[in-house]
Amino acid sequence: MAARAKKRAVKRQEVLEQEYKDLAQRQKPKTPVVRNVLVAYLVGGLICVLGQAITQLYLRLGFSPEDVGNPTAATLILISAVLTGLGVYDVIGQFAGAGSAVPVTGFANSVVSAALEFKREGLVLGVGARMFSLAGPVIVYGAVTAFVVGIIKALLR
Amino acid sequence: MGNYVTAFFVGGLICALAQLLFDLTTLTPAHVLTLFVVLGGILSGLGLYEPLVRFAGAGATVPITSFGHQLVQGALRELETHGWVGVLAGIFDLTSAGITAAIIFGFLVALLFNPKD
């Protein structure tokens, strides 16, 4: 008898949990996907237009098309670092999502904001150790990909 | 090397694809960005990223997919000139300016600013 009562209690518990899950599902705010994608397109596109303008500027200053990538990236990273220090880039990020995360400015923002956030843990264990806590995976998997592609090309030579 | 129009449309498209993955899958932004770097590297190895750079300019060089592309191209260039060991030596050849800029500017900003709450 006791076993049957226990089973019933468990069953009731499961029903309640399912009802709770359904309710939570209904109450969850719907992600405005269309709005997010359009804003990401617009902001990401504009950051690339800024990059194109900086590229044109350095080309005019005498950099060759092969060499223009470095000063362009460094300039975008500098702009992003200052905006992150001022707290502006994180506001853009909340608005633009992937539009500001995917460009190189987003990579810089992840490095600078991590350095800044962990400043209170000290210059070595905070700033030094945590700087790449967000950007690290990108570097690790990028390097692994480059290594694998390089080995495959070496084997095919 | 692309123009403003192709830079806007291609760069925007790459960001919009990432946003779709943010919103419609359970992948975190860190996973999506990592995936994009790997995809950029694979496209580069297949010889498909360089034409995109010629078409879209900054639309292809500013998004993070370009980071994977440059890591691969660095490895492949050193492979051409120095053989096997070049794969190890060359990976960060083309990206060192960007990574160093992020470290230096990140360090300076951390010294000069305080985190906002």
The DSSP code sequence of B50-95 is HHHHHHHTHHHHSBTHHHHHHHHHHHHHHHHHHTHHHHHHHTTTTT
Across A66-76, average pLDDT = 94
- How far apart CA A29 and CA B14 sit, in angstroms, is 26
- Which pLDDT does position B73 carry in this prediction? 97
Which residues from B are below 8 Å from A119, CB to CB? 110, 114-115
Q: What is the pLDDT of residues A14-35, one digit of tens each?
A: 888 888 888 877 777 778 999 9
For chain A, how long is the longest CA-to-CA vector? 90
Across B90-116, average pLDDT = 93
Residue of A nearest to B20 (CA): A37
Q: Identify the residue with better confidence: A19 or A93.
A: A93
Q: Does the distance separating the beta carbons of B110 and A112 come in below 8 Å?
A: yes
Q: How confident is the model at residue B116 (pLDDT cuts 50, 70, 90)?
A: confident
Q: Does the distance separating the beta carbons of A145 and B72 come in below 8 Å?
A: yes
pLDDT of A131 > 90? The answer is yes
Q: How many angstroms separate the CA of residue A24 from the nearest CA in chain B?
A: 17
Q: Identify the residue with better confidence: B14 or B116.
A: B14
The secondary structure of residue B47, as a DSSP letter, is T
Q: Does the distance separating the beta carbons of A65 and B1 come in below 8 Å?
A: yes
- Which pLDDT does position A16 carry in this prediction? 84
- How far apart CA A33 and CA A35 sit, in angstroms, is 6
Residue of A nearest to B11 (CA): A45
- How far apart CA A95 and CA A101 sit, in angstroms, is 11
Residue of A nearest to B70 (CA): A146
- How far apart CA B86 and CA B79 sit, in angstroms, is 5
Arithmetic mean of pLDDT over chain A:
92
The secondary structure of residue A32, as a DSSP letter, is -
Q: What is the pLDDT of residues B19-72, one digit of tens each?
A: 999 999 999 999 999 999 999 999 999 999 999 999 999 999 999 999 999 999
Neighbours of B99 (CB within 10 A): 18
Which residues from A are below 8 Å from B1, CB to CB? 55, 59, 65, 68
Q: Does the distance separating the beta carbons of A145 and B20 come in below 8 Å?
A: no
Q: Does the distance separating the beta carbons of A37 and B37 come in below 8 Å?
A: no
Q: Does the distance separating the beta carbons of A47 and B62 come in below 8 Å?
A: yes
Stated pTM of the model: 0.88
- How far apart CA B7 and CA B54 sit, in angstroms, is 10
Among A58, A157, A16, residue whose Cα is nearest residue B83:
A157
- Which pLDDT does position A13 carry in this prediction? 85
Q: What is the CA radius of gyration of chain A?
A: 24
- Which pLDDT does position A25 carry in this prediction? 75
- Which pLDDT does position A5 carry in this prediction? 81
Q: Does the distance separating the beta carbons of B38 and A98 come in below 8 Å?
A: no
Q: Identify the residue with better confidence: A7 or B42.
A: B42
Q: Does the distance separating the beta carbons of B2 and A52 come in below 8 Å?
A: yes
pLDDT of A123 > 80? The answer is yes
Among B15, B90, B108, residue whose Cα is nearest residue A153:
B90
Among B61, B96, B97, B18, residue whose Cα is nearest residue A53:
B61
- Which pLDDT does position B117 carry in this prediction? 61
Q: Which of A51, A105, A127 sits opposite B110 (nearest CB)?
A: A127
3-state SS class at B28: coil
Q: What is the pLDDT of residues A40-59, one digit of tens each?
A: 999 999 999 999 999 999 99
- Which pLDDT does position A116 carry in this prediction? 94
- How far apart CA A45 and CA A99 sit, in angstroms, is 8
- Which pLDDT does position A12 carry in this prediction? 83
Instruction: Work out how many CB contacts closer than 8 A connect A with B.
Output: 256
**What percent of chain B has a predicted confidence (pLDDT) above 70?**
99
